Amino acid sequence: MAQIIDGRAVAAEVTDRVGAAADTLKTEAGTQPGLAVVIVGDDPASKVYVASKGRTARACGFLSVEHTLPEETGQAALLGLIDDLNSDPAIHGILVQLPLPDHIDEGAVIQAIAPDKDVDGFHFINVGKLGTGVTDSAFVPCTPAGSMLLIDTVLGKDLSGKNAVIVGRSNIVGKPMFNLLLSANATVTVAHSRTADLPALCRTADILVAAVGRPQMIKGDWIKPGATVIDVGINRIPAPEKGEGKTRLVGDVDFESAAETAGAITPVPRGVGPMTIAMLMVNTIVAAYRAAGRVPPDF
């Protein structure tokens, strides 16, 4: 049976360190880290995520600001708010909760956020830095960054000699994950729905990252014995055993069968999910240290 990688425990350690760093910055420089989250509309899932981010930010000692805008908010008004936040010295990180309503251009909104406050890591400047290996000054998207920390707990930071396969090529997970694994000296392949003989390719992976968005797609016989499996997927499927109309969360990996073969594996939930919010806190504290002219702590 595989080692279960406890993302919730690792995330708690990370946020404890963030809180300590926030205390130090406030004591020594008089700066309280500030995170602003903007949500447009009434999407229930987005509201849950925003509330969780706010709770964690406050627990870390941050100034936590939430701007909730009605669904019909125009793009110009949203861009005006972002401009105000860019200019606000009390705000070090800005996050616009996605998805946005259809009448708003998400790309334009993301690129309007100042790169030094782009704690989601989606601005082209941060994407370009990551793609060219300038990771020390880039903000890395939170889910890939958290996934790398979980890999570190099993394999360490130097992945020389390891073959990594990423299933999924999104801008949010797959592509930044490629750059992070490559920077850690792994040999990396990015696969997707059109990859020929995907199961055979997955069986070559010492590190398998599943980020394809299909529930339980990756089966146990796709896993190389002893591999480290990082399941980024969060999918809701029917759970009739819980009662009529009930659902449960599963990943992109068939956990039960994969755990029989893998050396280590993240569960869903309590795997990568908690790390995403923890790394948002890391990016915000790093932004606050930089704004105060101080060297940020390592995480």
Which residues are part of the catalytic machinery? 53, 97, 120
CA–CA separation, 98 vs 134, rounded Å?
Answer: 26
CA–CA separation, 24 vs 284, rounded Å?
Answer: 14
The number of beta carbons lying within 10 Å of the beta carbon of residue 77 is 14
What is the DSSP secondary structure assignment for residue 266, as one 8-state letter? -
CA dihedral sign, ordered 116, 112, 46, 74: positive
- C-alpha closest to that of 99 among 143, 144, 44: 44
CA–CA separation, 138 vs 145, rounded Å?
Answer: 11
Q: What is the crossing angle of helices 142-155 and 174-183, to 10°?
A: 40
- Peptide bond before 238: cis, by omega within 30 degrees of 0? no
- Quick check: 56 and 281 in contact, CB under 8 A? yes
What is the DSSP secondary structure assignment for residue 180, as one 8-state letter? H
Query: Which two tokens mark 54?
Result: 């706010």
The dihedrals phi and psi of 154, each to the nearest 5 degrees, come to -100, -45
In three-state secondary structure terms, 10 is helix
Query: Which two tokens mark 195?
Result: 């990859």
Query: Which two tokens mark 95?
Result: 């996050």
Query: Which two tokens mark 138?
Result: 């880039």
- Quick check: 21 and 289 in contact, CB under 8 A? yes
